[in-house]
Structure 1
Amino acid sequence: MMRKGPLVLVGGILTVMLLVLSGCETQSSSGKSITIVGSTALQPLVEAAGEQYGTENVGVFVNVQGGGSGTGLSQVQEKAVSIGNSDVFAEEKKGIDASKLVDHQVGVVGITPVVNKDVGVKNVSKKQLIAIFTGKLTNWKQLGGEDLPIVLLNRATGSGTRLTFEKWGLDGQQSKDAQEQDSTGMVRQIVGSTPGAISYMAFSYVDKTVDSLSVDNVKPTESNVASNKWKIWSYEHMYTNGAPTGLTKQFLDYMTSDKIQKQVVSKLGYIPTTQMEVKRSVDGKIIAIKKGM
């Protein structure tokens, strides 16, 4: 099931109307709150930081919801939420006017193909990975594994995780039509319980119920992401509509503080941007980072 934020406003239609009309920083008798929507790959990190921030600041509520990067970007563009979480640059999403949004990069996430533990395959070539997701390979025995049909599972079309995986894992090719899920947590559950299943998810969601696949004998590890040996990764963006103010700015400052970057980001399987050996531009260009500069 999709992970839910640690604190959720209730009140049905009235709450939704208040959020939309107010730009989503609200004040009530119980305190201040902001609403953050979007990427499920980034959701666990923002939930954890939001819960800790609320503990340290009594009366402040950080409401975190998923829905995918496309939802986050469209909602913050419409000023329906305080922050839109995304795994991709706003410039990469159709229908988004990136010139109105301000990008706050709070970390890096690696994305890995994952399979059911019984498929009998641990490594594939990039060519084979593309052939799996475009439907040219249909049984795991074609890859030296068990005699099991390959069962594809995709994230929804608006997902930043899917866009990142297709761009860097499939060399820009689109995955064939298959079952889609909005929630990374549900993807993990289905892959773990379905013989022959394969999908993809952020490193932070991988657990003992599924197996990650290496690609061209490169393992999906944080150190390989930092050096760009593992190329399926993206920045974790928290977008605001214009420069942030008030509680929104305070929480974003908290997200990028040494405290959160050192204590929470790494602990949950994300990579602080300060650990990256390269940086990637909007157009995909990779530039080495000169340390100490």
Structure 2
Amino acid sequence: MRLKRLVALCMVGAMALSFAGCSKNEKNNAKTNGNTTETTNKTEDSTSTDTTAQPAEDSSNLSGTVVITGSTSVDKILNDMIDEFQAINPDVTINYTGTGSSAGIADTIAGSNDLGASSRELKDEEKADNVKEVVFAHDGIAVITNPANTVTDISVENLAKIYSGEITNWNQLGGNDAPIVIVSREGASGTRSAFEELIKLEDAGGLTEDAMVVEGNGNVQTSVAGNENAIGYVSFSFIDDTVKALTVESVEATAENAKAGSYPLSRPFLFVYDENNYTAQTKAFVEFALSEDGQSYVEAHGGIKID
């Protein structure tokens, strides 16, 4: 009996020691595994933080000044383009001065500007191998009458005679025996200056004092729509069923004809530059003017976008 009891006690003791050893190993393993997990988490957190902290590289490092001189007909379009471009590129300053197309082209040839703005084609004597031109918009002006007017076509010459006061009755143009009511724009209007330039009104004696002068394309449109004997001129975007657009020299007033140059009261808007003096900031501005964002300002001011 004593021997059996002694053997039993020994066995119990051995089992207790074995259990204690296993528990200690499990605790050590758990501690080791916990440290490994914690270290891994810290590493992952550190990697994530470093990635987030990486600054995005500036896609534009443009700086400097761009000097633009030339056409006043494009001043509203250009000023909006310039404001937007400078907002995107705050280290670039663009100075635009309206001096007239001829002066802007002459400045480019002389090397005294970065860009010339022109509202006409270059003359042969202004062209040179190093002088490049880029069309950034088209301008088209529609001649409108009341839909009841029987006249459907008019020549550039007769437009000058109407607006100078030489032709005063519609029967002189094959229409009804009725006085012509002339509607024109205010003196500061770019559309007016373009229209008068295209019909060479100054050569015909200038605008008659009998003309009704109103502000804005919309007021020209409503004035003509409300008077059967009226004639006016508007940007293409103001042609609707309340007025009738005359053909000029038998050519319809459409954007396609204006772009093709076949419509007489149309013209291109150009940038002119010397390729030997074409800076990065100048090139970037020209590219912006041709972009979708830049072209939105062409439409906003009654111009015709490029293709």
**Short-chain TM bin:** 0.5 to 0.7
Which of the numbers 238, 244, 247 marks the counterpart of 2:271?
238
Partner residue, 1:25: none
SS state at 2:253 partner: coil
Say whether residues 1:54 and 2:86 are aligned partners.
yes
Which of the numbers 153, 157, 169 marks the counterpart of 1:125?
153
Partner residue, 1:98: 127
Residues 139-173 of structure 1, C-alpha deviations (whole Å, 9 max, x = no match): 456454853576999999xx87655x24xxx8xx9
Which stretches in structure 1 are left out of the alignment for 5+ residues? 1-30, 275-293
Partner residue, 1:13: none
Which residues in structure 2 correspond to 1:186-205 (within 5 Å)?
203=236
Checking the alignment, whether the CA contact within 8 Å between 1:265 and 1:272 is kept in structure 2 is yes
CA 1:241–1:224 in structure 2 vs 1: closer, same or farther (change >3 Å)? closer
Checking the alignment, whether the CA contact within 8 Å between 1:132 and 1:138 is kept in structure 2 is no
Checking the alignment, whether the CA contact within 8 Å between 1:123 and 1:213 is kept in structure 2 is no
Which residues in structure 2 correspond to 1:117-266 (within 5 Å)?
124-127=152-155, 129-134=156-161, 137-139=167-169, 142=172, 143-144=175-176, 147=179, 165-166=198-199, 175-179=203-207, 203=236, 213-215=245-247, 220-226=253-259, 230-243=263-276, 244-261=278-295, 263-266=296-299
Report the AA paired with residue 241 of structure 1.
D
SS state at 1:273 partner: coil
Which of the numbers 93, 100, 119 marks the counterpart of 1:87?
119
**Higher fraction of helix:** 2
Partner residue, 1:110: 140
Residues 102-122 of structure 1, C-alpha deviations (whole Å, 9 max, x = no match): 11221222133478x9xx969
Give the TM-score of the pair, scaled to structure 1: 0.55
Identity %: 18
Residues 155-196 of structure 1, C-alpha deviations (whole Å, 9 max, x = no match): 99xx87655x24xxx8xx98412159xxxx99969x969x99
Separation in structure 2 between the aligned mates of residue 86 and residue 202 of structure 1, nearest angstrom: 19
The CA deviation at 1:40 is 2.8
SS state at 2:167 partner: coil
The CA deviation at 1:55 is 0.8
Report the AA paired with residue 289 of structure 2.
M
Separation in structure 2 between the aligned mates of residue 151 and residue 269 of structure 1, nearest angstrom: 18
Checking the alignment, whether the CA contact within 8 Å between 1:36 and 1:83 is kept in structure 2 is yes
**Bigger Rg, which one:** 2
Which stretches in structure 2 are left out of the alignment for 5+ residues? 1-62
CA 1:79–1:227 in structure 2 vs 1: closer, same or farther (change >3 Å)? closer
The CA deviation at 1:70 is 1.9
Checking the alignment, whether the CA contact within 8 Å between 2:108 and 2:114 is kept in structure 1 is yes
The CA deviation at 1:222 is 2.5
CA 1:36–1:104 in structure 2 vs 1: closer, same or farther (change >3 Å)? same
The alignment's C-alpha RMSD in Å is 4.6
Report the AA paired with residue 51 of structure 1.
D
Residues 17-54 of structure 1, C-alpha deviations (whole Å, 9 max, x = no match): xxxxxxxxxxxxxx733232222332222222111101
The CA deviation at 1:214 is 2.0
Report the AA paired with residue 269 of structure 1.
G
The CA deviation at 1:254 is 1.7
Report the AA paired with residue 247 of structure 1.
Q
Report the AA paired with residue 69 of structure 1.
S
What is the aligned length? 222
**Higher fraction of strand:** 1
